[in-house]
């Protein structure tokens, strides 16, 4: 069984600025309510460290593998539980330019594995809420930085 959750938001900021925020793992804790910590090399195939806090829950630490690093377009990783096939999540951030200084940010995860059918709707709704809160926080940070850099 596969369950996909996908959210999106339009951000009024240059793609390079938004990409720079997403690549700045050490600063996630300053602005990101979902991925509260991230560290590791930006090398596909290598493990990174991620701590995720769903709304109303404690943070959970993972060591997913970085799958895709397509500069300015997509950042994707896949994590799983220790037992193969039990639970796998593939998390992606995808950006598409819509015009000068406007981009569509898509935040998606595909869950698969033996445990997926046993997870509650409430759990998946928390994931969606977490994605949406991160999207809003990314938009706010990028748009503020864009305005601040324009003023200088």
Q: Which CATH number do you get for residue 142? A: 3.30.530.20
Beta 102-112 vs 88-99: how paired, if at all?
antiparallel
**Domain residue limits at 132:** 2-24+67-151
Q: Distance of alpha carbon 90 from its chain centroid, rounded?
A: 10
Tell me the pLDDT tens digit for each residue of 42-101. 899 999 999 999 999 999 999 999 999 999 999 999 999 888 789 999 999 999 999 888
Calculate mean pLDDT across residues 107-113: 97
Quick count: other Cβ atoms within 10 Å of Cβ 2? 10
Calculate mean pLDDT across residues 106-127: 96
pLDDT at 150 over 70: no
pTM of the model: 0.93
Q: Does residue 47 form part of some domain?
A: no
Q: How many domains does the chain have?
A: 1
């Amino acid at each position: 069984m596969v369950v996909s959750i996908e959210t999106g938001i339009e951000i009024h900021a240059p793609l390079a600025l938004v990409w720079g925020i997403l690549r700045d793992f050490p600063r996630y804790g300053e602005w990101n309510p979902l991925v509260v910590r991230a560290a590791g090399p930006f090398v596909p195939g290598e493990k990174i460290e991620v701590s995720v806090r769903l709304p109303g829950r404690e943070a959970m630490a993972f060591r997913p593998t970085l799958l895709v690093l397509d500069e300015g377009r997509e950042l994707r990783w896949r994590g799983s539980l220790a037992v193969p096939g039990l639970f796998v999540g593939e998390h992606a951030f995808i950006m598409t330019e819509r015009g000068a200084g406007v981009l569509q940010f898509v935040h998606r995860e595909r869950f698969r594995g033996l445990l997926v059918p046993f997870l509650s709707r409430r759990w998946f709704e928390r994931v969606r809420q977490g994605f949406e809160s991160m999207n809003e926080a990314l938009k706010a940070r990028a748009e503020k930085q864009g305005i601040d850099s324009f003023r200088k």
